[in-house]
Amino acid sequence: MLTSEEKKAIISLIHRQVVPAIGCTEPIAVALCVAKAKETLGAVPEGIEINLSANILKNAMGVGIPGTGMTGLPIAVALGALIGRSELGLEVLQDCNKDAVESGKKYIAENRIRIKLKDDAPDKLYIEVVCRGGGHEAEARIATEHTNFVYLRKDGDVTLDKPISATKEVAKEDVTLTLKKVYEFATETDIEELRFILDAKKMNEAAAADGLRENFGHQLGKTLCSPLGRGIMGEGIFSKVLSATSCACDARMAGAMIPVMSNSGSGNQGICATMPVVVFAEENHNTEEETIRALIISNLTAIYIKQHLGTLSALCGCVVASTGSSCGITYLMGGTYEQTAFAVKNMIANLTGMICDGAKPSCALKLTSGVSTAVLSAMLAIQNKHVTSVEGIIDDDVDQSIRNLTEIGRRGMDDTDRFVLDIMTHKSK
């Protein structure tokens, strides 16, 4: 039985990790850091120097920037300097308009921006921005989480200097989760205390509708809804779950000027933890209360796994988020805690090792692979069928299975991460 203090701590954790974001969180976090450095400088900078960890650079190279029709970091940096407002967090570019984009293009053309890889970055999520202008210099740094400022200075005056190691320790001390705690919290907490999660449903449904309405990215969601898609996939729950999820991802990765509810610093993870559960609940005629509890299970499972994996890693985030959605779908099918654990084991046995090669339109394909596995895993779990401890990396203890997954993604795939970035930065144009 969870104590009232544990419940309060978990609700606080969800509120911190499930937040609105406009655009892919890596370039937006860079724009946020630029905006903060500019505000510290007190003027639009004459020049900007940026040093980034490999994972930030990888996830910011090929993704659309909302409201610009452009991809990549330079326009995000320019807009952060010109119209960014740091108090808006991951919605820092909310004020973007046509005039701002034109000014941003001019700013880029004047060669005011320098972006470099920081080989010795102290964290996989690390952003360092130095703005110069009017004889002054300002610096801002973000580390460990997309909105976590650890250093601020203007000239020689340092106003914030927070050790990154201390930041990590604080994050670990938030609340200690297990899958059992996730399930108990989601199923036993007063429903009125959980109703806030419906904001994620509403926001990500709007993104999915936008993706269906327009031609974004590779149009995977629209393709699944087309006569071709319906002819192959049918018009059942499965195809609707896949199409809604990929529509939202299509819109977000192409730079649609629409917010999504993120999870653990990723909009795609937020979409993947939300839309499959929402669509399944509607098609399965679950009650609102069941939908709310399933969304909590899904989102909190993703948060739990990311606590061990880290905000950024070589492992594709859809593996994490779709594991959450599989748990939520299992619950909507009438599943018990034991069957939810079966779903997790089925997911880990299948998707472990899917690489992250940056944020980009084709992420919709990976999300759809993850979500299709989520449904299959739930179908097996509800029949008490699951991958056992004699198979691969699965352990009898579901929490140990999760730790096996996260250790592979956090440490085991480090060389893979370096190879991926090397390939991405040395491709012939």
* Whether pLDDT at 295 is above 60: yes
The structure tokens listed for 133 are 């202008």
Model confidence pLDDT, tens digit, residues 386-410: 999 999 999 999 999 999 999 999 8
Mean pLDDT taken over the chain: 93
Which neighbouring-strand residues pair with 114?
A: 49
Contact assessment for residue 4 and residue 189, using Cβ atoms and an 8 Å cutoff: no
Model confidence pLDDT, tens digit, residues 47-98: 999 999 999 999 888 888 988 989 889 999 999 999 999 999 989 999 999 9
Rg (CA), the chain: 21
How far apart, in whole angstroms, are the C-alpha atoms of residue 28 and residue 33?
9
Residue 261: which H helix or E strand, with range?
strand 259-261
Confidence of residue 170 (pLDDT cuts 50, 70, 90): very low
pTM for the full model?
0.90
Q: What is the pLDDT of residue 277?
A: 98
Q: What is the pLDDT of residue 166?
A: 55
* Whether pLDDT at 249 is above 70: yes
DSSP 95: T
How far apart, in whole angstroms, are the C-alpha atoms of residue 330 and residue 341?
10
Contact assessment for residue 302 and residue 349, using Cβ atoms and an 8 Å cutoff: no
Q: What is the pLDDT of residue 45?
A: 97
How far apart, in whole angstroms, are the C-alpha atoms of residue 184 and residue 296?
11
Three-state secondary structure of 164-209: HHHHHHHHHCCCCCCHHHHHHHHHHCCHHHCHHHHHHHHHHHHHHH
Q: Which single residue is written with the structure tokens 């130095």?
A: 130
Model confidence pLDDT, tens digit, residues 127-139: 999 999 999 999 9
Percent of the chain scoring above 90 in pLDDT: 82
Q: What is the pLDDT of residue 129?
A: 98
Contact assessment for residue 74 and residue 112, using Cβ atoms and an 8 Å cutoff: no
Pick 171 or 52 by higher pLDDT.
52
How far apart, in whole angstroms, are the C-alpha atoms of residue 340 and residue 326?
8
Name the percent of the chain in helix, strand, coil, to the closest 5.
60, 10, 30
328 phi/psi in degrees, rounded to 5: -65, -40
Confidence of residue 428 (pLDDT cuts 50, 70, 90): low
Confidence of residue 246 (pLDDT cuts 50, 70, 90): very high
* Whether pLDDT at 329 is above 90: yes
The structure tokens listed for 193 are 């205390």
CA atoms 355, 163, 12, 95: torsion sign: negative
